[in-house]
A and B are shown apart, each in its own frame.
Chain A
């Protein structure tokens, strides 16, 4: 078995798909992944693929033209997953896609397509979770920064929502786990940015800045609960403790 390994970013993944495809080893004899295995096997051969614009673009075009733009955006979305088999599953779905066309995502009885949807759904759920529970902190006059710690690389999936919500503010969302961010300058388009260690350390402490509205929010949060209906278990079911890390009302 030959294992193709690449970095976890979309262009590198596309390049990796290109190399795997053109290796002509037979689909059953290869595997793709975005992280080095915990334990190398002597029977497998490992190849590291790095980003190559030409290769990435040709996969991009092939998927868009020969399958469909919808399928392309679905796989790009699912690629934000941190699941170990995410890239490999995408590869398998593409094999089916090139054979059967744009209906590939309806073929849920195929195990790769079913797995693809599981991955897609868990990315979607996590993105939705942060749409609800991201908390921005004003660090300087009219500059809002939020920190999140997601399992998947979903910070990119939050851009469109918050851009629509506040297009005319300066804000950024930082993924502390993967050191990725989404940045929106006032009245401009938002963009994705990988953070350098230096940038990351400087941004790490924004939650310590004093923001008077955090305190007001806590006042509101406490007084809006009806004590006669006190129900911490329900609260915990709906908002589990592990999800509360950056929710300032619980600090």
Chain B
């Protein structure tokens, strides 16, 4: 390892520490709505604002950096691991504050995304990060968006301080089973990740209850219209996040068990729990992580199936009320026998399928058990998860557009939450036909196989799996190819697929 003296120039540090942070996928600035204030710098807009798009097509919304890329840990998949011989650098708190506020004033960014390698110990690192945020919020009077990455193993007190200073906190799950964690991230354990995660869940829920909101995070409105979603148990319960939100019977992976037991042990404690935070942070009078908690899993570094990954995601949504789970296609940067070889292609299509499935959980009322099973543990390459589900349930189709319920319509391939809303409101004034569906944003080249308008299908279509599958794969083939090979083609945007605006989180 190079020993870098602290007189490295600011642009060199920025280069090293943003390069080291780039593999973190979350860059959204959404979820907090906060007006500006005289004497302060910054506000926050619930929908999030993108300020640029990098050469990989990803949106730039936050100054995404590590505080330091020194690390005492040795996670196999990580560029910053102790055993790698790379240039190292550390920002001072003031450097981070200046970069954030100066970039912000030029309208380059919406705020800061601060992560870090572990120096000395998780607590020491977390303390340094909190110190930086405190300086930014007080002396630099920064009122914009902050996303902080909590360090696995950090104490609840520090987590609580971080929650009061930031808009969103996340801890990376990285790997969806204990087994691969112990192989690939030997210094981390399920416990060291789940414990702070549930401390954050508690902190958010307590603060939400204290200001008169539902304990659980807001979800897309469409969920209120659907009879049974992964969020509905918690809604009805309208109170604490408790034992009822355990995910049972889908998979006996160790992580899911530990999440469940963490939820149980939290549930034993009673009422709103406030962890003792640094009084300086409590006096800032900020809400606790108003934009919620998120996490990220690496896809393709270890042997887990899509079923493992999605089951873990669902458990995190249900059990710990995470706002978002992100999926990050593994990019082979380290040559290591425990890892896929350096030539392994980045699994971009698989990542895309997981995001599609994630949308199905959060916007369409699907549950993981409906999409995947022990027998069918991975998504299809050729068709998206929703079409795949529909093809396996042809007996439920076609559905009549002018009669079907929210629950039924939302499951039709080619129909999304926005078009369901439009169909429902148009139905109040008269009959809906195919031409109107097209105007409402329904993708007829998918939907046509599954719907009737006043009893008639759009063409003469046999409801036969093989036939429909062939037609749908034709629709999808180009897209699938483009996603896996971004260099020589136009990549479809996930958000376009779903008719949602970018930045939705």
Contacts A168-B39, A229-B348, A234-B491: A223 and B19 contacting too (C-beta < 8 A)?
Answer: yes
* A105 CB → nearest B CB, Å: 17
Stretch from A55-63, A64-72, A82-90, A128-136 forming part of the interface with B: A128-136
Residue of B22, B52, B329 touching A239 (CB-CB under 8 A): B52
A217 to B58, CA, bound (A): 16
- Residues in B3-24 with C-beta less than 8 Å from chain A: 10-11, 14-15, 18-19, 21-23
Is residue B404 within 8 Å, beta carbon to beta carbon, of the partner chain?
no
> What are 29 contact pairs spanning A and B, CB under 8 A?
A133-B52, A144-B105, A162-B107, A164-B35, A164-B43, A166-B36, A167-B38, A167-B40, A168-B40, A168-B41, A169-B41, A187-B39, A213-B106, A215-B11, A216-B10, A216-B102, A220-B63, A223-B15, A223-B18, A224-B19, A224-B21, A224-B60, A225-B56, A229-B331, A229-B346, A233-B486, A233-B490, A234-B486, A235-B57
* A223 CB → nearest B CB, Å: 4
A131 to B64, CA, bound (A): 20
Knowing that A224-B18, A233-B491 touch, tell me 11 more A-B residue pairs with CB under 8 angstroms: A131-B49, A133-B107, A135-B106, A169-B41, A216-B102, A220-B14, A226-B22, A226-B58, A227-B55, A238-B53, A249-B52
Interface residues in B, total, Cβ within 8 A: 50
* A129 CB → nearest B CB, Å: 11
A238 to B55, CA, bound (A): 11
Is residue A175 within 8 Å, beta carbon to beta carbon, of the partner chain?
no
Considering only CB atoms, which chain A residue lies closest to B61 in the complex? A132
* A187 CB → nearest B CB, Å: 6
Contacts A135-B106, A223-B19, A229-B346: A237 and B56 contacting too (C-beta < 8 A)?
Answer: no
A165 to B40, CA, bound (A): 9
CB of A132 within 8 A of CB of B49, answer: yes
A224 to B21, CA, bound (A): 8
Is residue B200 within 8 Å, beta carbon to beta carbon, of the partner chain?
no
A224 to B55, CA, bound (A): 9
**Interface size range on A against B:** 35 or more
Interface residues of A (CB under 8 A from B): 131-138, 144, 146, 162-169, 171, 187, 211, 213-217, 219-235, 237-239, 247, 249
Q: Is the interface of B mostly helix, strand, loop or mixed?
A: loop
Considering only CB atoms, which chain B residue lies closest to A211 in the complex? B106
Residue of A168, A222, A228, A235 touching B38 (CB-CB under 8 A): A168
Residue of A146, A221, A223 touching B107 (CB-CB under 8 A): A146
* A123 CB → nearest B CB, Å: 18
Residue of B36, B487, B490 touching A165 (CB-CB under 8 A): B36
**Chain A residues whose C-beta falls within 8 Å of the C-beta of B99 in the assembled complex:** 216
Considering only CB atoms, which chain B residue lies closest to A142 in the complex? B105
A163 to B11, CA, bound (A): 30
A247 to B107, CA, bound (A): 10
Q: Which 7 A-B pairs have the closest CB atoms?
A: A234-B57, A231-B486, A225-B54, A225-B55, A164-B36, A229-B56, A231-B57
**Chain A residues whose C-beta falls within 8 Å of the C-beta of B108 in the assembled complex:** 135, 217, 249
**Chain B residues whose C-beta falls within 8 Å of the C-beta of A131 in the assembled complex:** 49
Is residue B493 within 8 Å, beta carbon to beta carbon, of the partner chain?
yes
A159 to B484, CA, bound (A): 42
A224 to B14, CA, bound (A): 10
Considering only CB atoms, which chain A residue lies closest to B51 in the complex? A132
A144 to B54, CA, bound (A): 24
1/0 per position for B20-40, CB-CB distance to A under 8 A?
011100000000000111111
* A214 CB → nearest B CB, Å: 8
CB of B493 within 8 A of CB of A234, answer: yes
**Chain A residues whose C-beta falls within 8 Å of the C-beta of B41 in the assembled complex:** 166, 168-169
**Chain B residues whose C-beta falls within 8 Å of the C-beta of A171 in the assembled complex:** 105
Considering only CB atoms, which chain B residue lies closest to A171 in the complex? B105
Considering only CB atoms, which chain A residue lies closest to B34 in the complex? A164
Is residue B103 within 8 Å, beta carbon to beta carbon, of the partner chain?
yes
Chain A CB count within 10 A is highest, among B11, B37, B39, B63, for: B11
A236 to B42, CA, bound (A): 29
* B326 CB → nearest A CB, Å: 14
A133 to B107, CA, bound (A): 7
**Chain A residues whose C-beta falls within 8 Å of the C-beta of B51 in the assembled complex:** 132-133
**Chain A residues whose C-beta falls within 8 Å of the C-beta of B487 in the assembled complex:** 230-231
**Chain A residues whose C-beta falls within 8 Å of the C-beta of B53 in the assembled complex:** 234-235, 238-239
* A238 CB → nearest B CB, Å: 5
Considering only CB atoms, which chain A residue lies closest to B49 in the complex? A132
Is residue B184 within 8 Å, beta carbon to beta carbon, of the partner chain?
no
CB of A135 within 8 A of CB of B54, answer: no
- Residues in B344-375 with C-beta less than 8 Å from chain A: 346, 348
CB of B56 within 8 A of CB of A217, answer: no
Contacts A232-B55, A238-B493: A132 and B50 contacting too (C-beta < 8 A)?
Answer: yes
A71 to B59, CA, bound (A): 35
1/0 per position for B406-423, CB-CB distance to A under 8 A?
000000000000000000
Residue of A137, A227, A234 touching B490 (CB-CB under 8 A): A234
CB of A226 within 8 A of CB of B11, answer: no
Considering only CB atoms, which chain A residue lies closest to B98 in the complex? A213
Is residue B489 within 8 Å, beta carbon to beta carbon, of the partner chain?
yes
- Residues in B128-165 with C-beta less than 8 Å from chain A: none
A225 to B56, CA, bound (A): 6
1/0 per position for B286-315, CB-CB distance to A under 8 A?
000000000000000000000000000000
A232 to B56, CA, bound (A): 6
Contacts A167-B37, A168-B40, A231-B57: A219 and B11 contacting too (C-beta < 8 A)?
Answer: yes
* A182 CB → nearest B CB, Å: 13
Contacts A232-B55, A234-B491: A224 and B106 contacting too (C-beta < 8 A)?
Answer: no
A166 to B49, CA, bound (A): 15
**Chain A residues whose C-beta falls within 8 Å of the C-beta of B36 in the assembled complex:** 163-167
* A78 CB → nearest B CB, Å: 21
**Chain A residues whose C-beta falls within 8 Å of the C-beta of B502 in the assembled complex:** 238
**Chain A residues whose C-beta falls within 8 Å of the C-beta of B54 in the assembled complex:** 221, 224-225, 235
* A9 CB → nearest B CB, Å: 26
Chain B CB count within 10 A is highest, among A131, A168, A169, A227, for: A168
**Chain B residues whose C-beta falls within 8 Å of the C-beta of A231 in the assembled complex:** 55-57, 486-487, 491
A130 to B51, CA, bound (A): 10
**Chain A residues whose C-beta falls within 8 Å of the C-beta of B10 in the assembled complex:** 216
**Chain B residues whose C-beta falls within 8 Å of the C-beta of A134 in the assembled complex:** 107
A223 to B16, CA, bound (A): 8
A235 to B38, CA, bound (A): 36
* B336 CB → nearest A CB, Å: 17
CB of A225 within 8 A of CB of B58, answer: yes
Chain B CB count within 10 A is highest, among A146, A217, A224, for: A224
Considering only CB atoms, which chain B residue lies closest to A217 in the complex? B108
* A130 CB → nearest B CB, Å: 9
